[in-house]
Structure 1
Amino acid sequence: MALTVVSSAGHAWRLTERIGSGSEGVVYGVEDDRPLVAKLVPDPPDPAAYRRRLARLVRQRREPRTVRLLAATPPRAAWPMALVRTRNAGADGYLMTDMRHAYRPLAQLLFPTARRHFLPDATWETALAAACSLARLLADLQAEGYVVGDLKPDNLWVDARGAVGVADVDSWHFRDGAEVFPGRMSTPGYTAPERIGVPAGTPPESASDNFVLAVLVHQLLTEGLHPFAGHPADGTDYRSYDDNVLRGRCRLLNRLSVVLPSSAPPADLLPRRIRELLRAAFGGVRPTAAVWAEALAAETVPGRLRTCRVDAGHVHTVERPWCPWCDLADRGADRPGGRAGRVGPRVDGTAGTGQQRNGADGGRGEVWQR
C-alpha cells in the first residue's frame, strides 16, 4: 500500500519508490512537480525531541544564515522544507530537495570503476574541484554555527564539474536560540580520534569535522584511498580504519607504519602544500575548512595542473615531473583513461617501463609497498 505523508498545514503528498535507507531513516520519492524526496524516521530514540529538531530546521530555512547557504543553484544542502508524518503509520520525517536532480553520489567520483561508468569525463582536476567545493561548503556551514558531525561519502553529492552538496541535515549539531540540538551520528572510518568510542549523543565539534574533511580530501585526490588504510607493518592484525587512526598508522605520518598494495596511488602525486596540511590534520593542529578551501583553490589556478601528453584523461600537479597515472597503468592498475600495460613515451620522455622513481618528499616513493 502506498504511503501518504501530511504536513502540519494539512498538505498531503503521496510517496512513490523507496530510494534508500540509513541507520535511522528511509528515503522515498515524492509525487510532486518539484524534485522532492521524503525522509522518514520510523523509530527515533526520542520522537518528541526529533520533531522539535525538525521543526527548528524548517524554521531556520527562512533565516538569513540559511538563506545564504541555500542561495546557490543547484542547492548545496538538502535542507528540511516541511515537517511531515505518515497518515497511517505515524512515522515522522521531512521533505527535502531530491539531490539526484543535480548531483550524483560522491562515491561515483571517489572510485575509478564507478567514475568511469557514471562520470567518464571526470579527471583528477574534477576531484580537486570537488575537494575545494567540499571545503568551501564546510567552511560556510561552520561560519554559521553548524557542525555536520557525520561527514561521510554517503551524505555527500557531486556534479560533473565537481560542485558538492550535502544531505542528512537532520543529524547535524546546531543551536536555535538558547537550545542546543546535539549531533547524534558517527560512522566508522569517518570519525575523528577524540570521538572514537565516546558515548552516543556526545556533541561533536568543528575540529572533528575538520579531521574528517582531511580524510575526504585525501580520498578524493588519491582515487578513494583512505589515509589510514593499510595493514600494520609491525605484523599485528589489521582491525579497522578507526584502529589505525587511534594508533597513528598512516603513510603520511610514518610511511613505514603500514603496508599498501602496489596499485595504491603514490603519496607524491599530492602537491606539497596539500601533503603538509594532511600531516597537520592527522598529527598536529588541524587546518580549518577555510584554510583547506584556500589551499585547494590555489592548486587549481592556471599553471598548477599538467595534462599528460600520452593520455588526456591523466591530469596531475605540475610539481610532479611525470604522470603518476601512467606509472599506475604500467603496473596494471585500473585507472580511468589509462590503459593497463601501456607501452610508449611518458610525459618526461622516458620509456614506459614501470620503474620506481624517487618521491618528491624524499626517499623512494614506493618504500611502503612491501
Structure 2
Amino acid sequence: MRPAGGPDPCSPEGRPGEAGPPPFEVPDGYRVAGYRLGAFLGAGAWGSVHAAEGPDGTPAAVKLLGAARFSPGQRRTVAQMARSEQRFSRLADHPHLIRTLTVVTVEDPDHPALDGAVALVMERADRSLHDVLADARPGTAVPGAERILTEVCAGLTHMHRAGWVHGDLKPANILLMSDGTAKIADFGLTAELEGTHAYAPPLGSPDHVPPEWWSQRTGARGVAVRPSADVWAFGVLTHQLLTGGLHPFVGATARARSLAAQAYARGAAPLRPDEALPGRWRPVVGACLAAGREERARVDLTALVARATAAPARRRRTAVRAGAGLLGCALAVLALTGGPEPAAPGAHRAPPPLPGAIPAGSDVPVAYRGMIDVAARRCPEPEVTPALLAAMLKAESGFDPNAARPETGEYGIAMWTPAVFGAWAKAAAHPGPTSYLDPGDAIAAMGNYVCWLDQQLKRAGLTRDLPALVTAAYRTSDKTVEAAGRVPERVRPHVDKVLRYLSDYGG
C-alpha cells in the first residue's frame, strides 16, 4: 500500500525538526556541589538528568545544561533557561512543585564537555507521568488520575497566583515522588508575568501548546506566553490521564494533532473528547480547551477541578441518606411510567450518531461497525465519516480480513503493507503488539491515516471533493495527489467505486 509519506519528524521539545544534543558523558563518581552523580535518567532538547546522592546519602537529581556544545544563539537560550530555573527556584515554595536545592556552574577544564555547564540539583522523583502513560491502557484512566490532577492543579494555580507561567506543562514534566505525590518540574521555560503575559524562548512541546502558539512571532525577548497556555496544556493532560494516554486531537504525529487543534480553533471542526472521558470531567476539558485564549484566561481551574472531584462524593452521600426509601420511590416511578426516568443532566449517555453513520440495513458486517464508528469518531475532520471508511474498506477488500495482494505486499481488511502499517498502528485501541491482519488494529490505523491525509490535503489548499481526494491519497500518497491537484487518472476507477459505495451508505 501506498504512501511515500508518513509521520513527520518532530523533536520531543521545541518546534518541529529541532533535535537535542546527546546526553553528557559523566565520569563515574563525578561530583557537583557535593553531590555524587550516578545513573543517567533522561535527556531533553537542552540537557540531561542524572541520579545523584548528597553527602548524607539523600537522593537527588542533577540536571546539566551545557553551553560548550551549542551555537552562540543556543548558548544564549540555555543561559536564559538556566537563569529562569534558578530565579524561580528561589521564589517557589509549594508541595506540588519540585524543589531546586542548589544551582551551580561547573568549572572543570579537565572535562571540556562539562566545563561551563549549569547544574541544577533537585528533588528526585520515582517516575514521570510520561512513564505512566507509556504503560497505560487506552480508554482506561491511569491509577490515581484524579488525585494527580488535583495536585497538579494546586501547583499550577500557585504559580499563576505568584505571577509565573510554566510554559511547558506536559506528562514528562509532572513527576511522581516515592509516596505518589505529583509535582510539577522543569522550569526552564517558566517566565514571570509582566501584566497579562511574559516572554520565553520560542520552545514548547507540540502536543501541549495552544493553537495560537504556532502563529506567534518571535521578538527580541522571545515569544509572549500567558497563563492561558498552561490552562490549555492542563486540559490536554486531563484528557490523557483519564483516557489512558489518548490525545484530545487525533493524528498520527504531534504535528498532525496540532493541525487538528488549529482546525478546531478556527471553527472548522468540533472538539470531540474520547468516549472514555468521564462525564463530570468533560466541563474541565471543554473549558481548558476553549478555542480563544481570552476565554481560557477566565477559567477558574481550582473551582472546575473541585467540582469534578466532588461529584462522586456528593453521589455517595445522597445514596446513603436516601437508603431504602430511594429504592421504594424508584419502584413506584417504574410502576407508574413503565420505564426508568430520563438520565440526569451530565449523566453518561451513549455518544450521538456521527454524521455519515452507517445505515442499519447496509452490507457492512455488524462485527466491524463499532470499530469503524470509533475510528471515525476519533478524527476531527468532518469528511472522515463511518460511511466513508466503510466504503473504502469495501472497495479495498470487500470486508475480508484475509484479503491479500501478494504481488503488491498488501494484506488484510484495509490492505496494509506491513511496513507502512507500523507507522500508523498507534491508533490501535489496545496496548501491546498490533497486527495488520487484525481487523480492529487495521481499521483503527486506517482511521488514523485517513484523518492525517485529510489534514495534509487541506494544508496543501485542496478543500473540494475531499472524500475522492482522500481515497486517491490512500491508494497512492498525499504528495501524489497534491502534485496532481486532483484524483490521478490511474486510480480514478478505484475512487469511483468508493464514491458509489459511499452513496449507497447515504454519504
Q: Under TM normalisation by the shorter chain, which class is it?
A: 0.5 to 0.7
Counterpart of 2:247?
226
Which sits farther off after the overlay, 213-222 or 140-149? 213-222
Structure 1 residue 21, shift from structure 2 partner: 0.6
1:37 aligns with 2:61: yes
Alpha-carbon distance between aligned partners in 2 of 1:299 and 1:164, rounded to the nearest angstrom: 18
2:191 corresponding residue in structure 1:
173
| Corresponding residue of 1:313 | none
Tell me the secondary structure at the aligned position of residue 36 of structure 2. Answer: strand
> Kindly tell me: are residues 198 and 86 of structure 1, through their superposed partners in 2, closer, same or farther at Cα, counting changes over 3 Å?
farther
SS at match of 1:23: coil
Structure having the higher strand fraction is: 1
Partner of 1:2: 28
**Counterpart code for 1:15:** L
1:136-147 to structure 2, matched below 5 A, reads 136-147=154-165
Q: What secondary structure does 1:97 align onto? A: strand
Q: Secondary structure at the match of 1:169?
A: coil
Deviation at residue 270 of structure 1 after TM alignment = 4.7
Question: The residue matched to 2:305 in structure 1 has which SS?
Answer: helix
The CA deviation string for residues 83-114 of structure 1, in whole angstroms up to 9 with x for no partner, is 231522214222332432xx431134445xx1
Q: How much does 1:186 deviate?
A: 0.6
CA distances 1:193-234 after superposition (whole Å, capped 9, x unpaired): 111154563131112111111111122222221111158xxx
Task: Please state whether the residue corresponding to 2:106 is helix, strand or coil.
Answer: strand
Contact 1:138–1:289 (CA under 8 A) maintained in structure 2:
no
Matched-pair contact (CA < 8 Å) for 1:219–1:226: yes
Distance 1:287 1:53, change over 3 A: closer
Structure 1 vs Structure 2 CA RMSD:
4.4
Tell me by how many angstroms 1:22 deviates. 0.6
Q: Choose the corresponding residue for 2:124, options 90, 99, 105.
A: 99
For structure 2, the residue ranges without an aligned partner over 5 or more in a row are 1-26, 318-343, 352-369, 375-427, 432-506
Give the alignment's TM-score, normalised by structure 2. Answer: 0.47
Tell me the SS of whatever aligns to 2:224: coil
State the partner residue of 1:299. Answer: 308
1:39–1:125: structure 2 CA closer, same or farther, 3 Å change rule? closer
Distance 1:104 1:318 in 2: 38
- Residue aligning to 2:43: 21
Change in CA separation of 1:62 and 1:265 when aligned onto 2, cut-off 3 Å: same
Q: CA separation in 2, counterparts of 1:290 and 1:165? A: 22
Identity %: 21
CA distance in 2, matches of 1:205, 1:56: 16
| Alpha-carbon spacing, 1:12–1:218, altered in 2? closer, same or farther (3 Å) | same
Aligned-residue offset at 1:148: 1.1
Say which SS state the counterpart of residue 208 (structure 2) adopts: coil
Q: CA deviation at 1:139?
A: 1.0
- 5+ residue gaps, structure 1: 117-121, 232-236, 307-316, 336-369
Q: How many residues align?
A: 287
- CA deviation digits over 1:308-353, x for unaligned, max 9? xxxxxxxxx99546899xx99xx99549xxxxxxxxxxxxxxxxxx
Structure 1 residues 57, 242: CA separation in 2 closer, same or farther (over 3 Å shift)? closer
Q: Map of 1:155-234 to 2, 5 A cutoff?
A: 155-158=173-176, 163-174=181-192, 182-198=200-216, 201-230=222-251
User: Is the alpha carbon distance of 1:52 and 1:128 closer, same or farther for their aligned partners in structure 2, counting shifts above 3 Å?
Assistant: closer
Matched, 1:254 2:275: no
Q: Residues 210 and 167 (structure 1 numbering): CA distance in 2 closer, same or farther, change over 3 Å?
A: same
Which shows bigger deviation, 54-63 or 241-250?
Answer: 54-63
Q: Distance in 2 between matches of 1:51 and 1:249?
A: 34
Q: 1:131 to 1:253 in 2, by over 3 A?
A: farther
User: Who is 2:287 aligned against?
Assistant: 277
Contact 2:232–2:288, Cα closer than 8 Å, also in 1: no
Equivalent-residue separation in structure 1 for 2:244 and 2:268 (angstroms): 16
**Which residue is equivalent to 2:102?**
81
Q: What is aligned with 1:356?
A: none
* Selected match of 1:244 from 260, 284, 287: 260
CA 1:289–1:28: 2 relative to 1, 3 Å: farther
The separation in 1 between residues aligned to 2:180 and 2:316, in whole angstroms, is 16
Matches within 5 A, 1:310-349: 319-320=346-347, 334=430
- For the 8 Å contact 2:124–2:177, the answer to whether it is kept is no
Aligned partner of residue 30 in structure 1, secondary structure: strand
In structure 1, what is the Cα distance between the partners aligned to 2:44 and 2:268?
A: 32
Question: Partner of 1:338 in structure 2?
Answer: none
**3-state SS of the aligned residue for 1:40?**
strand
CA contact (8 A) 1:210 1:289 kept: no
Letter in 1 for 2:128: P
**Post-superposition CA distance 1:152-188 (Å, at most 9, x none):** 1111123598742122112311269xxx873452111
Task: Identify the structure with the greater helix proportion.
Answer: 2
Distance in 1 (alpha carbons) for counterparts of 2:217 and 2:31: 33
